[in-house]
Structure 1
């Protein structure tokens, strides 16, 4: 029977729907006969920028996630799960590698994993026993996946299931050197983003992108189905979220139950900004009381509370939209028996923040709304809900999945297994997160925000910011969930203990980058 190459698969995908492609290639994938694998599939779904603080599943006042709650009835639900960072590049790298950002060093906007740690990724470490498919709608996450492309069987283009392009994108068409193509053409020559790249590098390509964007202006301004505009990944393409979920669902259904179990990684853009819910999800929530918090000196946007409140409401509506599309996909999986034959992981890369003058993510701040993320894992045939309240980190996911797949966990990883899936609850564990997007990836961390969460206390350290120099904050997350009362100068014993641990960890992280 003939073998289907990645290039052939992508050619088919470019001209066909996901269902048509998958149905045509399924017979070509079973090159080892008709014997079906007895190992469970592993399906990872990353819902970009979904904050646990905005999910009714975790007690949020607005009923944003009834379908996630339904899924949770047969899953492990992790209530104190934290990302290692507050934007996509470092957070996704940690999820895939099991390493903290100070090790993998994908700390910059659109950054890459350090060459010494590229092989620390689940796609390589899980081995050839699994059929490996990866897809993301995030261009920065896609650059990270391109570092591992030799470890995939299929890496779908970032534009898959998209509705219409916003500007030219070249890297999906040049598979021989996709990373260089992305940075040289897509990001530098044709891409403009007001915060850090206000002018494209090429007048022609930048102008071409503007013309394409203007031609599709009505999509951005709104339609009957999408009052706030058709969803987009902000920079390159528009998409219909229900069609993305339907496409991924069809793809999964056609790839499971082959001679090899499926490892599928699907990093879906919504509910990342811009918040564009379908019409039936707009205006569905009542007003809620949101505590007013003082403007932070490091807030990038410096927005008034009224504006942030409006953004929060649209974000909640968009989450409800995503939850509905997710629910339909899980219903499809249940009917197809996929829930009984698969580990299904639902998480996010980071959260969102709408407070202290700050909006969205990628900020200098590390308050809980931007790093406290959902984690739900359903085991094959699981029928009951299990709630886990001990602190966990996104670096735990990769080693846990390797353990479930009966693979070796390499030395150098954090090696914490998630409670209920091989690990035990540890309420004394230290959890870290780091923001260092303006620091060189090849130098010691001298301009950064770092947080340590331990035994219900949270220490935040700011270093290298002229307007907020060498500042510590400390909060009691059990008594002060909104992080409004700084205890650093009051509870000096706890503050000193956490400060020593954080600074020791930072010094160790910097050690291999200190010039001798």
Structure 2
């Protein structure tokens, strides 16, 4: 019975190909969507990958096949619906085609959180986005409706109106070019849903122009059969050419927008167990029928399964669970000052040789301190980097609690969603270490008898408010939100810190942590300091100069205190900043400019100077605890900076992370890195791809060294140990 059904099905397929494809009549007909989209997607993928750096021929062929297959599948779905609607009343087909357009508009509005932003500081941008998505949805549905064949207009109404056809061609081709430009130049590495929509709609607009051309002569049957055969072969070739996730072919495809879009579509199509990863096309799913084992899964030790499909089910030495011994002190315990500047990249500071004098006060301070020229953050979000800094461990080791940020920038845990106010909605999902068992250094110093002070500014967010848990261990906790609105800036923050500092108990050593938000986006005009211009770079330098200006009274006070008692001062940033021609970016990648941070340390007993040693944000708490004679926590990843300066840790491998979640808790992206003084090994966990970059490359993201050399063993071992020890994905809980 089964064999008979198979034979019958095969006969029907052969008959369809013979009569409808090969021997079909040669009278004129319009270009179907499946052919138009297949051509456009394939051509766009070819051009896009050729614009990259020296693509291998295999990646060009694979990109062409991936685009062809994706376009043909999408187009076949549209053609199928057009065929089903052909004999229905025209008003039904018009309404039908408007629905998917409006549905796409609604989806994008929800994904971008546009409605949530209508009541925040980006209200005008949200209004513009809402208008754009609504118009795009109506245009999408309206074009499908106008191109729908009917008994009266067998080639579609649009094809029968030359004037409107030419108007549409000019508008759509212009819009397509504008959308491709916007995709490549606006909000880089942000809003993936918007970029997805821009890519799809830009190619669809070109295909719509092709479809609207009207009837064209059909080719002879033999030519059609030949082209069909070649197209099928080309569409299948990527499954042969793209097999290794870390190969040059895969790398070129994943780093160009249109080919990356096509391979993501095919991977999703071949994800059998629906765990987010395919076993084909370098997707890396080592257990295609087991949803719990995939590159995004947490590694469970000793279960006989390679859960994360990397490094095997291997056992690595976990960090010690015993606290460090209590350090011995040669004299009185010093007081500690930790100054963190938000989103400051080191090469925009004159203390590091920048051409503009953006940090004259810090430059004077650095004359009696050590300037570290190769300091790096542990994460490129404030919400990840600060908890890591305060505990001295890498971000992926911490226990994170799900916290949603609303359009009013309030933070709510999952059980607090019923506290949403009128017109307030959830916009983003983050993690905060609210239930992390490791205490921050403030608690350890407070327990050791220190008077601990915090004066913080987190701008429009609540990531450094008491809701985030950063207040733990501070005897005095100040926030700029307590000031009048006109004083909520870096100068006001300094005044808060000075007031708390001058009222401290005179008989106790103290710790002061002050965080300046000013350099973070958005930029603000400050009349107190020089203006450099109106470009993104000019405004950013202006903010850094104002932060340095605000620091001046504090540095003077600290200089006076340092003459009376031992004092250690650390000036750093939570992460760097990547500047484009239109905006500033951090958090969505591990670019050198977002991970390379300033670090200036004035440590008792350490001679001032410059250091090229590789150091990390997590070295600061390790140094502080040793300086103060306080026992270090179990499993701290940082080392004493004084040891680094003596050359004790010459061959270090450090890590940096970044990740982000959608409102529903699904991962948006997840990156980690292992790096030494020469190379950076990147692991894109959401696409299961490794990438090796040279640290001194001015544009490292354009060159993958895996084309030339294998992964250095010490970096591969460090990455494997880090992934296996932490389990892989962030430890996220409710």
TM-score category (smaller protein) = 0.5 to 0.7
**Most deviating of 505-514 and 45-54:** 505-514
User: Partner of 2:682 in structure 1?
Assistant: 460
Deviations along 1:418-439, whole A, 9 cap, x unmatched? 1368874533211111111228
The change in CA–CA distance for 1:434 and 1:514 in structure 2 (over 3 A counts) is: closer
Asked if the contact 2:400–2:731 (Cα under 8 Å) also holds between the matched residues in 1, the reply is no
Q: Give the C-alpha shift of residue 262 in structure 1.
A: 0.8
Deviations along 1:159-187, whole A, 9 cap, x unmatched? 13x331xxxxxxxxxxxxxxxxxxxxxxx
Residue in structure 1 matching 2:689, options 456, 464, 471: 471
Kindly indicate whether residue 375 of structure 2 is the aligned counterpart of residue 56 of structure 1: no
User: Partner of 1:223 in structure 2?
Assistant: none
Kindly indicate whether residue 579 of structure 2 is the aligned counterpart of residue 354 of structure 1: yes
Give the whole-Å Cα distance in 1 for the aligned partners of 2:641 and 2:665: 31
Give the whole-Å Cα distance in 1 for the aligned partners of 2:641 and 2:537: 31
Kindly indicate whether residue 352 of structure 2 is the aligned counterpart of residue 129 of structure 1: no
Asked if the contact 1:88–1:350 (Cα under 8 Å) also holds between the matched residues in 2, the reply is yes
Asked if the contact 1:97–1:395 (Cα under 8 Å) also holds between the matched residues in 2, the reply is yes
Report matched runs for 1:144-163 at 5 Å.
147=469, 149=471, 151-160=473-482, 162-163=483-484
User: Partner of 1:373 in structure 2?
Assistant: 597
Give the whole-Å Cα distance in 2 for the aligned partners of 1:339 and 1:494: 52
The change in CA–CA distance for 1:63 and 1:425 in structure 2 (over 3 A counts) is: farther
Residue 92 of structure 1 aligns to a residue whose secondary structure is helix
Residue in structure 2 matching 1:255, options 472, 486, 504: 504
Give the whole-Å Cα distance in 2 for the aligned partners of 1:391 and 1:440: 36
Q: Give the C-alpha shift of residue 511 in structure 1.
A: 6.6
Residue in structure 1 matching 2:339, options 2, 20, 45: 45
User: Partner of 1:501 in structure 2?
Assistant: 718
Give the whole-Å Cα distance in 2 for the aligned partners of 1:110 and 1:442: 9
Give the whole-Å Cα distance in 2 for the aligned partners of 1:490 and 1:398: 39
User: Partner of 2:388 in structure 1?
Assistant: 94
Q: Give the C-alpha shift of residue 346 in structure 1.
A: 0.9
The change in CA–CA distance for 1:146 and 1:39 in structure 2 (over 3 A counts) is: same
Kindly indicate whether residue 546 of structure 2 is the aligned counterpart of residue 314 of structure 1: no
Residue 419 of structure 1 aligns to a residue whose secondary structure is helix
The change in CA–CA distance for 1:43 and 1:459 in structure 2 (over 3 A counts) is: same
Residue 390 of structure 1 aligns to a residue whose secondary structure is coil
Residue 379 of structure 2 aligns to a residue whose secondary structure is coil
Give the whole-Å Cα distance in 2 for the aligned partners of 1:371 and 1:55: 15
Asked if the contact 1:450–1:462 (Cα under 8 Å) also holds between the matched residues in 2, the reply is yes
The change in CA–CA distance for 1:241 and 1:447 in structure 2 (over 3 A counts) is: closer
Kindly indicate whether residue 667 of structure 2 is the aligned counterpart of residue 450 of structure 1: no
TM-score (norm 2): 0.46
The change in CA–CA distance for 1:406 and 1:130 in structure 2 (over 3 A counts) is: same
Question: Aligned pair count?
Answer: 373
Residue 373 of structure 1 aligns to a residue whose secondary structure is strand
Residue in structure 2 matching 1:118, options 432, 437, 461: 437
User: Partner of 1:33 in structure 2?
Assistant: none
The change in CA–CA distance for 1:79 and 1:144 in structure 2 (over 3 A counts) is: farther
Asked if the contact 1:101–1:107 (Cα under 8 Å) also holds between the matched residues in 2, the reply is no
Give the whole-Å Cα distance in 2 for the aligned partners of 1:477 and 1:435: 18
Structure 2 stretches of 5 or more lacking a match? 1-330, 403-428
User: Partner of 1:241 in structure 2?
Assistant: 490
Q: Give the C-alpha shift of residue 281 in structure 1.
A: 3.3
Q: Give the C-alpha shift of residue 114 in structure 1.
A: 5.8
Asked if the contact 2:335–2:567 (Cα under 8 Å) also holds between the matched residues in 1, the reply is yes
Residue 436 of structure 1 aligns to a residue whose secondary structure is strand
Q: Give the C-alpha shift of residue 261 in structure 1.
A: 0.7
Residue 245 of structure 1 aligns to a residue whose secondary structure is helix
The change in CA–CA distance for 1:371 and 1:475 in structure 2 (over 3 A counts) is: same
Q: Give the C-alpha shift of residue 359 in structure 1.
A: 2.6
TM-score (norm 1): 0.64
Asked if the contact 2:396–2:729 (Cα under 8 Å) also holds between the matched residues in 1, the reply is no
Report matched runs for 1:254-403 at 5 Å.
254-255=503-504, 258-284=506-532, 310-337=535-562, 341-355=566-580, 359-362=584-587, 364-380=588-604, 384-403=607-626
Give the whole-Å Cα distance in 1 for the aligned partners of 2:664 and 2:614: 28
Structure 1 stretches of 5 or more lacking a match? 1-36, 165-229, 231-237, 286-308
Backbone CA RMSD of aligned residues: 3.3
User: Partner of 2:12 in structure 1?
Assistant: none
Asked if the contact 2:577–2:585 (Cα under 8 Å) also holds between the matched residues in 1, the reply is yes
Asked if the contact 2:453–2:474 (Cα under 8 Å) also holds between the matched residues in 1, the reply is yes
Residue 322 of structure 1 aligns to a residue whose secondary structure is helix
The change in CA–CA distance for 1:156 and 1:244 in structure 2 (over 3 A counts) is: closer
Residue 60 of structure 1 aligns to a residue whose secondary structure is coil
Deviations along 1:340-375, whole A, 9 cap, x unmatched? 53111111111111149873323x211011111111
The change in CA–CA distance for 1:512 and 1:412 in structure 2 (over 3 A counts) is: farther
The change in CA–CA distance for 1:347 and 1:48 in structure 2 (over 3 A counts) is: same
Question: Which one has a bigger Cα radius of gyration?
Answer: 2
The change in CA–CA distance for 1:345 and 1:107 in structure 2 (over 3 A counts) is: farther
User: Partner of 1:194 in structure 2?
Assistant: none
Q: Give the C-alpha shift of residue 53 in structure 1.
A: 2.6
